[in-house]
Amino acid sequence: MEDLKKHYEPKNFSDKVALSFTKFLRFLADTFFKKRYGHRAVVLETVAAVPGMVAGMLLHLKSLRKMEDDKGWIKTLLDEAENERMHLMTFIHVAKPTLIERVIIMIAQFIFIITYAIIYLISQRTAHRIVGYFEEEAVISYTEYLHELENGTIPDEPAPEVAINYWNLPLHATLKDVVRVIRDDEAGHRDVNHNFATVIDNRIKSKKYNELKEYNLNKKNISQEKDKEWKKN
């Protein structure tokens, strides 16, 4: 249960930007979908499957350009994109998007691919932090969805076959079981992306620290040389 409420407290400007961006999009989603959780899941999963693919592609190209190992990041990100796509393949059997939602999906994909790629190129850590926060919200939304299913406000139904096969669920599994495993996936993506952002953050900090150390060392050497020169004269 604790794991479901996990929240990464913003520690710097980049984190704050990521959190504000996420809260803004959450507000838009809440206003538009209200309690239509099935439709919400379909539309938002079409967006959720984008960052992993964009980030994976950009890191793949970077690895080629710099001839550097990616330390397993590309595979993790591409797996995330595939997992999110399977969430969509599942929910499409639960709710059919309306015409207006289909238009929103197309516009959102176009805008989000470009926006996320730009954010990733400008600040990789902000981009991963954004996904970390998106996934925190996804965990909250799926918890709310699950409560509605448990209360009976939304009628439960047999799990779609695609979900039973993908998550290896029992044949009598229902939508409640599906929402639970999907929520676990989202919690996993949340932790991975927050960790990626923290790793990059630490890299930046240690680079700055080394630069400062080098600068102070050079300053000391210069002053020692000047000292020697002064003594000679």
Residue nearest to Fe ion (CB): 87
Q: Name the residue nearer to Fe ion (CB basis): 42 or 173.
A: 42
Beta carbon of residue 25, minimum distance to Fe ion (angstroms, whole number): 13
Beta carbon of residue 36, minimum distance to Fe ion (angstroms, whole number): 17
Beta carbon of residue 45, minimum distance to Fe ion (angstroms, whole number): 5
Q: Name the residue nearer to Fe ion (CB basis): 15 or 186.
A: 186
- DSSP codes of every residue in 93-119: TT-PPPHHHHHHHHHHHHHHHHHHHHH
Beta carbon of residue 204, minimum distance to Fe ion (angstroms, whole number): 26
What tokens were used for 85? 């796509």
Contact by Cβ (8 Å): 115, 155 = no
Between the two ends of the chain, the Cα-to-Cα distance in Å is 74
Beta carbon of residue 83, minimum distance to Fe ion (angstroms, whole number): 7
Strands (E), 75-232: none
Cα separation values, 103 from 35, 99, 132, Å: 20, 6, 27
Beta carbon of residue 10, minimum distance to Fe ion (angstroms, whole number): 20
The single-letter DSSP state of residue 5 is G
- Interface contacts to Fe ion, rule CB under 5 A: 45, 48, 84, 87, 135, 138, 186, 189
How many beta carbons lie within 10 A of that of residue 80, not counting itself?
A: 24
Q: Name the residue nearer to Fe ion (CB basis): 73 or 145.
A: 145
Residues in the chain: 233
Q: Name the residue nearer to Fe ion (CB basis): 39 or 189.
A: 189
- What are residue 104's phi and psi, to 5 degrees? -60, -40
Q: Name the residue nearer to Fe ion (CB basis): 195 or 221.
A: 195
Q: Name the residue nearer to Fe ion (CB basis): 87 or 194.
A: 87
Half-sphere exposure of 105 (CA within 13 A, CB side): 18
